[in-house]
Chains A and B, each alone.
Chain A
Amino acid sequence: MNGRPPAPRVLGRRVPLPLVAWLALVWVTLWGDVSPGNVLGGIAAGAVVSWLLPLPALDPGIRLRPLPLARFLLCFGWDLVISTVRVVFYVFRPGPPPAQLVRVRLRTSSEPLTVLIMTALANVPGSLVVEAYLAERCLMLHVLGIPGDATEKVREDVTALESRVVAAFGTRADREELGTA
């Protein structure tokens, strides 16, 4: 499965199967009941929608791997708790909070993974992506709630996060790029 996802032609239009599978999953989830009728209905609805509203069949560049994904989600949840506490502490403490801009260099060249990394960073309190330089593989972060010079700590954290994201979502080429294949 390199390049394009499987997409058989139906009446002259390609129907990407992963998209149909995803739409069917959402359908069944919203009905809240895995019955044969629901699954068939979801597949039918997904197929009709993807046939009526065609999108270019692109490779999203993301592969899910269960164990690293679980590890990423656990670390992400823990991060969320810790940094929420930190930011709330500075909200209720008098005086201005410590804040600074940090420039971080990424090792991965994959755009989908960079987007995932930015999403993860944006949801962790205390870090905010203010600018992404994809050509130079750099992110500019605004960091709140780390007293003193946070540059080194932030860079370590982002590098660790990047490793976990690439392990959980990266293609083989992405993982080889980081030397963690």
Chain B
Amino acid sequence: MSALDPLAGACLLLGAVLALSAGAGLVKFRHTLERMHAGTKPQVGGVLLVLLAMWLHRPTWANAGPLALVGLSQVITVAVAAYTMARAAYARDSSREDEDDGTSLPSEEPPGSSPES
């Protein structure tokens, strides 16, 4: 049992790093479509790795079932959410290279003076 624990720990850490990179990507990327990449994908990889770590910690069939269902639900819902967001962003033509499309971090200016997007 405990022989698998280092592996479980590695999966947990890797999943956490992926979740961190998703957050970093949200801050760094400039357009909605690019942000969707960061916000959806490393997230799924991270969650799947954390689920795998949970299973490695207690590798029984009884635990595998619910974890597999959670992972499957993640995969399906992320796909739907990403497509919905991406489609709306694409319809608004937000992949322009030069300007921000209204999803930038709030600036230090007082509210009401933000540029129209």
Binding site for B on A (CB under 8 A): 26, 28-30, 32-33, 80-81, 83-84, 87-88, 91-92, 96-97, 99, 101, 118-119, 122-126, 128-132, 140, 142, 144-145
Contacts and interface: CB of A to CB of B under 8 A. Distances in A.
B9 to A, nearest CB: 19
Nearest to B63: A32
A37 to B, nearest CB: 15
Given A29-B66, A130-B87, A131-B90, A99 B34 contact: yes
Given A92-B24, A122-B79, A142 B65 contact: no
B33 A130 contact: yes
Interface size of B as a range? 35 or more
A142 B33 contact: yes
A159 to B, nearest CB: 20
A133 to B, nearest CB: 12
A30 B34 CA distance: 37
B42 to A, nearest CB: 6
Contacts of A130: 33, 83, 86-87, 89-90
B75 A123 contact: yes
**For A80, A81, A87, A96, which residue has the most chain B Cβ atoms within 10 angstroms?**
A87
B76 interface: yes
